[in-house]
Amino acid sequence: MRTDRYYYLSALPALGGLGSAAPVGPAQLLEHVGEETSRGTLIGTVFLLNDLLEREAFLAGEINQVDPAVLTVRQARNEAPLPDFLAPSLPNDPGSLQADALWDAYFHHADEVGRTLGSALLVRWIGFEAALRNALAEARAKRLEIEGADYLVATDLAASSEDFSAILSEWAAAPTPLEGLRVTLRARWDWLTVNDAWFSFSDDELVAYAVRLMLLEQWRRTTRPEEHSAAETA
């Protein structure tokens, strides 16, 4: 019901701009909407992306602890199996191919959740995220003079209409990997500003809130370079 959505939205604290402190944590937001509800599923799907980034960073030795919102701590530390919708897609080979297979599975899962629960914003956001990740992968491959096509994921979902030329130029010119990460976070924030469902009082507004909350958390990590590195740029 519209009044029901209005309650959930109006009860949330306002979010500041990119770089401001998040007024609520992912776990609190999930508790607010109900983790087992359809809204909880949509929001949890957003936060799962952040959990997987933390998992990558932990396994690479770039951070010493994890604080997942959807995965368990043991799953984020690779001490327990991932959810079934992710685990079967992982190849036996370790390394980047395994990571790419995991991200391919995530994007397809998130797209399916968005379509099943009627979240047009989640579907568009996943298309943007997949396209941006692939654009960055191709740019890195070009730098290293290797085949970029081997590192693309969810190409069937990636938005084909996005023009990343300006973002890639700014990212390539960044003086440090950390600054490059900030370029991509600003691009994600700007995309959401253009594409969110402001004042629609739909579940997509909660999705937009969750994405912004995640970006605020990711930006916060960039202020702690001793614990986070460029591996989170994708």
The pair of three-digit structure tokens given for residue 5, joined into one six-digit string: 């959505």
The predicted pLDDT at position 96 comes to 58
The predicted pLDDT at position 199 comes to 57
| Three-state SS at 181 | helix
The predicted pLDDT at position 46 comes to 98
* Per-position pLDDT tens, the chain of length 234: 454 666 667 788 999 999 999 999 999 999 988 888 999 999 999 999 999 999 999 998 988 999 999 999 999 999 999 999 997 655 555 555 678 889 999 999 999 999 999 999 999 999 999 999 999 999 999 988 898 888 899 999 999 889 999 999 999 999 999 999 999 999 999 999 999 866 566 889 999 999 999 999 999 988 854 444 443 444
Query: Using CA atoms, how far apart are residues 204 and 114, in angstroms rounded to an integer?
Result: 10
The predicted pLDDT at position 62 comes to 87
The predicted pLDDT at position 95 comes to 53
pLDDT tens column, 114-125: 999 999 999 999
The predicted pLDDT at position 41 comes to 96
User: Measuring CA to CA, which residue among 159, 163, 160, 168 is closest to residue 138?
Assistant: 168
Query: Using CA atoms, how far apart are residues 84 and 96, in angstroms rounded to an integer?
Result: 20
pLDDT tens column, 174-225: 999 999 999 999 999 999 999 986 656 688 999 999 999 999 999 998 885 4
Check: CB of residue 26 under 8 Å from CB of residue 217. Answer: yes
The domain spans of the chain are 2-128+185-233
The predicted pLDDT at position 145 comes to 87
Query: Using CA atoms, how far apart are residues 59 and 13, in angstroms rounded to an integer?
Result: 34
The predicted pLDDT at position 92 comes to 55
The predicted pLDDT at position 9 comes to 72
Within 13 Å of residue 26, how many CA atoms lie on the same side as its CB?
A: 26
The predicted pLDDT at position 229 comes to 43
Q: Give pTM, 2 decimals.
A: 0.88
Residues 6 or more apart in contact with residue 174 via CB below 8 angstroms? 180, 182, 183
Check: CB of residue 207 under 8 Å from CB of residue 192. Answer: no
The predicted pLDDT at position 198 comes to 62
The predicted pLDDT at position 168 comes to 96
Query: Using CA atoms, how far apart are residues 93 and 50, in angstroms rounded to an integer?
Result: 23
